[in-house]
Amino acid sequence: MFAEGLRCVVCHLETDLGGYFFGCRDCGSALETVYDEDRVAAAVSYRDWRDRADRSIWRYRELLPVREESAVISLGEGRTPLVLLPRSDANPVADLWIQNETVNPTYSFKDRFHSVAQSMARQLGYRRVACSTTGNHGMSAAAYAARGGLQCAILVDPRAPEVQRRWMRLFGATVIVEMDRRPPLESFVRDHGWYPSTYMTPNPVATPYGMEGYKTMAYDAVLALGRVPDHYIVPIAAGDGLYGPWKAFGEMARLGWTDSIPKVHGVQPTAANPIVRAFREGSDTVPYIEDPQTIALSIGDPTGGSMTLRAMRESGGQAIDLTDPEMVAATRYAASAGLSPEPSSAASLAGAWALARDGIIREGETVVCLFTGAGPKWPETTAQLTEGDEIVSPDSSWLERLARDPESVGVT
C-alpha cells in the first residue's frame, strides 16, 4: 500500500509503521501516519473512490495504514448519511447538514477508529487489545475485537451506561469498572504487551492508527456533498475525531481532488473545556481539569491532545464551549427533526448556532455538524431529557377524544 511510516506531529521525527505506543521517542508527542502522496495520486482518483462497490471505510484503503488485506476487520462502518436540517426560527443556518454517525455498527463514530486501529493490531501481530472508555469507545472496541478474534480488556468509567457495559461483555470483553483508569491501562501495554486501541496523544499510552479511521468522515462528507463544506463542526474530548478529518481535507487538497479546506471547529462542554481554554489563551499546552462534570460524558475528558489546536488554528476554525442546557436544547431540537443524538453529539449543532450568532458562519455557507453517537445508548441521560408522562391505560372516552381532537386532551 502507500503508508510510508510514522511522523511526530511536533518535531517531525520519522519512524516505521510499528508498535509505538508512547509517542515520539525524542519529544513524547503524538505520532501520525504519513503516505507517499505522489504514488497515491498516480494510483487512484477521487472518481475511483466514488465508484467503488465497497461502501465501508476501506474504499479509501490507499490512505489508510493497513497493508495486509487479511488483517482488516470491518463491520461495514462508514458511508453514513448527510441529513439536511430544515431552517427554522431555532435553526438559523440554511445549509446545515448532519453527518449522522449514529448509524454505524455500534451506533457511533468510534467504529471507524477501531476498524483501523485493531486491523493494525492484527497486522503487527497483537492478539490482545485494551482501552479506556466512558461508553461508546469501549462498546466499539469490544465489537471489533470480537469480529477480529482478539482478546479485549476494557477499563470503564463507573458513570458509563450499564446497557453499554453489558454489550461489551456480550461481545466477549473483560469489563473492569475503574475511575482511575490510566495506571492499569499503562500497565497492560507497557508491562504485559497489550495493544492500546485508545487515543492518539499519549495519555498515558496511545495508538497512532485509530485516528486514520476518523479521516474517512471527511472523505465521506465530500463524496456525499459533491464539494467541500465551508465549516466542519466536531464535538471533541481528546480531539482525535477533529484532527482526523482535518488531516483528510488536507490530503484531498494536496492530491488535487478538492480546492479548499473547511474551517474546522471544536466544541466542548463549559465544565470540561481544556482544549477550549488552551485555544483561547494561545497556548500549545492543553491543561488538566480535575473531575469535570457534564451531561455530555462522551466529551467530558479532563484533558486532550495539543494537535487538535493546530488543526483548528491552521484551518481558521474556532474552539467554543457550551453549557449543558445549550446541548440539551440542541438534542431536543434534533429529536424534533427525527434524529437521535446523545447530548455530546448535539453539541456540534449547538456549536453551529453559536458560530452563526457570532457571525463566524455567514449566510449561504455550507455547514456539516458531526453527530458522533446515538442517544438510545444512554438511557439514563435520555430519562433526564424526557418531559411529560406516558399515558397509561386510558379509558375509551379519552382515546375517542384524542382521535377526534388531540388538543382537547393536551396533545399537540
| Opening angle at CA 28, ends 271 and 316, nearest 5 | 55
> What pLDDT, on the 0 to 100 scale, is given for residue 385?
92
Going by C-alpha positions, the residue among 96, 197, 185 that lies closest to residue 137 is 197
- pLDDT for 411 equals 82
Cα distance between residue 120 and residue 201, in whole Å: 17
Task: Give every residue of the chain whose pLDDT is below 70, as ranges.
Answer: none
Q: Write down the pLDDT at residue 35.
A: 98
Contacts with 147 (C-beta within 8 Å, 6 or more apart), sequence order: 73, 74, 75
> What local confidence, expressed as pLDDT, does residue 227 receive?
96
What is this structure's pTM? Answer: 0.96
Question: Burial of 188 by CB count in 10 Å (0-12 exposed, 13-18 middle, 19+ buried)?
Answer: buried
Cα-atom radius of gyration of the chain, to the nearest Å? 21
pLDDT at residue number 409? 87
Beta strands in 120-260 (DSSP E): 128-133, 151-156, 174-177, 195-196, 231-235
pLDDT at residue 389 in the model? 86
The C-alpha angle with vertex 148 and arms to 145 and 154, in degrees rounded to 5, equals 10
- Write out the three cell numbers for 409: 386532551
- pLDDT for the residue numbered 153: 98
Q: What is the pLDDT of residues 34-83, one digit of tens each?
A: 999 999 999 999 999 999 999 999 999 999 999 999 999 999 999 999 99
pLDDT in the model for residue 1: 79
